[in-house]
Amino acid sequence: MSRPSQPKLTATDHNGVSVIQSQAHAASSSLPAAVAGLQQVPQLVPANPSTGGGKALAPSKMKKPPADKDSEEYRQRRERNNLAVKKSRMRSKQKAMDTQQRVNELKEENERLEAKIKLLSKELSVLKDLFLEHAHNLADNVQPPAGAEGSSPAPNSTSTNGQ
Amino acid sequence: MSRPSQPKLTATDHNGVSVIQSQAHAASSSLPAAVAGLQQVPQLVPANPSTGGGKALAPSKMKKPPADKDSEEYRQRRERNNLAVKKSRMRSKQKAMDTQQRVNELKEENERLEAKIKLLSKELSVLKDLFLEHAHNLADNVQPPAGAEGSSPAPNSTSTNGQ
DNA sequence: GAGCATTGCGCAATTA
DNA sequence: ATAATTGCGCAATGCT
């Protein structure tokens, strides 16, 4: 079912920034086409006040030039970053898959272990029963060694022990 | 050294419009500021040509209006999509975390199971040893009823079971 | 401070 | 037509 009408709660107001995207770098690869068109917009570069006279010696907090889009260095950085991003995302995805796989492996392992436990438990149970039986037998005809014999009917009580 | 421009010209098939968003929405949490002052002029809403008369009745394959960026409906769709995207990503991330957690749980479970196996094995081993001992004892003074002569060592087969 | 790595976000194409 | 996914670029931020 879909949400027919949602009273627009939380107008996800992100920053109200005008975004001007313009890209035109070489298509890395495998883009069907339809790369969203971008084009340069006449962005006005703020006239750099440059170092007029008063040079505030601010050790930090210096306004960053909006990164001139035309700058050669800018494009270079962008491209590098795009690459890094791609790489990072690939890694991320790979990791996710690996984790999923790990889950499957662990699940299998778990089943195996549980099966083994079941088996061992069974074996133990059997042995214990045998022991009990012997114990009963011994208790019934508790006859010191040497000439031990005679009748020993001893109705065997098949007591099933629990676990 | 300078980067020769890519021979790849920006041949944007269709839709070569830059996006200029000017949102006057309330700034939200997040980005402190640093919003470049990019104000865009309010675009005039195009007078709807309305239904003049010639309406091509295309049953299918109708060209999609390049999505007029100014369109009210466009903005609406974008916003909806942005929301959906956000939701989707959140879910994706959540899922990843869940999976990771699952791995941890399974690992713990595994350890528990292995410990249990170890314990059971030990128990089994003890019991088996006891059995063997008994068997030896019996073998030593085994007195088959009714005339038993000679010693019958009965080679005990210490068969260790496999798993 | 340079530089890659992460992460949140919006856009657009696909898919369901 | 709508919502959900997915690939991608941008920019801020984290980390070396």
Helices and strands (DSSP H and E) totals, chain B: 1, 0
pLDDT in tens, B99-154: 999 999 999 999 999 999 999 999 999 988 888 887 888 777 755 544 444 344 44
- What's residue A70's pLDDT? 86
C-alpha B160/C-alpha A123 separation (Å) is 13
Question: How far is C-alpha B89 from the chain's CA centre?
Answer: 11
Amino acid at B119: L
Cross-chain Cβ contact A18/B21 below 8 Å: yes
Query: How many C-beta atoms surround the C-beta of residue B122 within 10 A?
Result: 10
Amino acid B70: pLDDT = 87
The CA distance from B46 to the nearest CA of chain A, in Å, is: 21
Residue in B with minimal Cα distance to A93: B96
pLDDT of residue A80: 96
Q: Mention every residue, 6+ apart, whose C-beta is less than 8 A from residue B132.
A: B156, B158
pLDDT, tens digit, 9 for 90 and up, residues A38-65: 333 333 333 334 444 444 444 545 566 6
CB atoms within 10 A of CB B86: 12
Q: Does A116 sit within 8 Å of B163, measured CB to CB?
A: yes
Instruction: Note the pLDDT tens digit of each residue in A101-140.
Output: 999 999 999 999 999 999 999 999 998 888 888 788 877 7
Largest CA-CA distance found in chain B, in angstroms, rounded: 124
Q: What is the pLDDT of residues A4-40, one digit of tens each?
A: 333 333 333 333 333 333 333 333 333 333 333 333 3
Res A160 pLDDT > 80: no
* Chain segment B72-99, per-residue pLDDT in tens: 999 999 999 999 999 999 999 999 999 9
Distance between CA atoms of residues B130 and B137, nearest Å: 11
B51 vs A75, higher pLDDT: A75
**Do A102 and B103 meet the contact criterion of CB atoms below 8 Å apart?**
yes
Distance A85 CA to C1 C1' (A): 22
d(CA B61, CA A117): 64
Distance in Å, alpha carbon of A123 to nearest chain B alpha carbon: 8
Q: What pLDDT score was predicted for residue B157?
A: 40
User: pLDDT higher for A67 or A46?
Assistant: A67
Kindly list the residues from chain B whose CB atom is less than 8 angstroms away from the CB atom of residue A38.
10, 12, 16, 18-19
Question: Which residue does chain A place closest to B97, by CA atoms?
Answer: A96
Which carries the bigger pLDDT value, residue B55 or residue B36?
Answer: B55
> Which of B87, B104, B100, B88 lies closest to A96, judged by CA?
B100
